[in-house]
Amino acid sequence: MRIYLDYNASTPVAPEVAAAMQPYLSDHWGNPSCGHWAGRPAREAVESARAQVAGLLGCKPTEVVFTSGGSEANNHALIGSFLALRARGDHVITTRIEHPAVIEPCRFLERTFGARVTSVGVDSMGRVDPGAIRAAITNRTLLISVMHANNEVGTIQPIAEIAEIARERGVRFHTDAAQSVGKLSTRVDELGVDLLTIAGHKVYAPKGVGALYVREGTKLESLIHGAGHENGRRAGTESALLTVALGRACELAATHLGDDRIKQLRDTFWTQLVAAFGDRVVLNGHPEQRLPNTLNVNFVGAIGAQLLAAMPEVAASTGSACHAGQVTLSPVLDAMGVDPEIGRGAIRFSLGHGTTLKEIEYVVARLREVM
């Protein structure tokens, strides 16, 4: 038996997405930039996919830029914004719990362009205080980047409230929504963001495709230079195959919003763990303002990596690294102030459309054995 509970790391390609891709593997292989019979179907497919992504975000299709994935979208949002606006300032605000695809571009800007980066902390549940963002803004602040929901513990950030602060101060606002797309509403006008990141392989599309929402009128410096594809915002021949996949995945995601089945399974999982282990399990993240599929748990007195090694049939992620007998907390758990003695037992279980109650019950039984 093999059980997959690592959907926050990567999702399988949905059957409907694979079916949508098939014609672009065999029949519609033309260059979308060409106006002849071979190129036109590919161009139509790319633009149709753009409209599907826009439909999920509640934006104009012209505001969607296809990328190679979430990391490129984050890099384009941060570095592209800094380069476009650096005549106005040099300050960027982010948080201590961001994905490396945000943290590392910020470090690049510091090293290469002398940017000043403020990384705001979080509370014990992983939530950012909007007041801390407000206090960090200076007259040289160009950009704020706060993830919509954390990939490790699932905590949802007060994005709309932070966006209002950014608007008041005339500061551009980006959110990395790689983990929240398809799980929460990500309509850009509700969130109030100027830039938003999507990663295809987090939403049942393949790896190698993503998108960046760019609000109309938001200027970015291009990262990839060439023939001026994507309305001059990103060079490189578009892949009809991959854009069709992302478009169909976003269309499917819209139909799943509001479906509580996965959340109910996650809550059942937690209830069964508490029944089995009592105070030997501790929840990481906000108990309510959390992704509906994410359960990050500390197994007190154990090491998460060792528990998973004893259950090789279960795919999940740990919240700490174990090297040469030393256990180091992840930056996210460290930022939350989790006690290292407790946090070394952290495991992230992330559920998806394929998860069943039988699998949850099996994992709880196996944890009883290995604990």
Q: Could you give the 3-state DSSP secondary structure of residue 254?
A: helix
Residue 6 domain-assigned (yes or no): no
Closest by CA to 297, choosing from 275, 322, 269, 321, is 269
- Residue 60 shares a structural domain with residue 195: yes
- Of 256, 281, 306, the residue at which a domain comes to its end is 256
How crowded is residue 339: how many other Cβ atoms within 10 Å of its Cβ? 12
Is this structure's pTM higher than 0.85? yes
- Of 256, 273, 294, the residue at which a domain comes to its end is 256
DSSP 344-357: TTEEEEE--TT--H
Catalytic residues: 322
Q: What are residue 321's DSSP bridge partners?
A: 328
**Percent of the chain's residues with pLDDT above 70:** 98
Number of domains in the chain: 2
Q: What is residue 35's predicted lDDT score, i.e. its pLDDT? A: 76
The domain containing residue 168 runs over which residues? 15-256
- Residue 134 shares a structural domain with residue 83: yes
Q: How many H helices and E strands in the chain?
A: 15, 15
Q: What is residue 326's predicted lDDT score, i.e. its pLDDT? A: 61
Q: What is residue 325's predicted lDDT score, i.e. its pLDDT? A: 55
Q: Which residues of the chain fall short of a pLDDT of 50?
A: 323-324
The domain spanning residue 212 has which CATH number? Answer: 3.40.640.10
Q: What is residue 321's predicted lDDT score, i.e. its pLDDT? A: 55
Q: What is residue 34's predicted lDDT score, i.e. its pLDDT? A: 73
- Residue 207 shares a structural domain with residue 65: yes
DSSP 8-state symbol, 12 = P
Q: What is residue 323's predicted lDDT score, i.e. its pLDDT? A: 47
Which residues are within 8 A (CB) of 206 and not within 5 positions of it... i.e. 6 or more apart?
A: 13, 17, 21, 200, 242, 245
- Residue 38 shares a structural domain with residue 164: yes
Q: What is residue 119's predicted lDDT score, i.e. its pLDDT? A: 98
Query: What sections of 212-260 are H helices per DSSP?
Result: 229-232, 240-256
Closest by CA to 243, choosing from 302, 198, 303, 277, is 198
- Residue 32 shares a structural domain with residue 146: yes
Residue 7 domain-assigned (yes or no): no
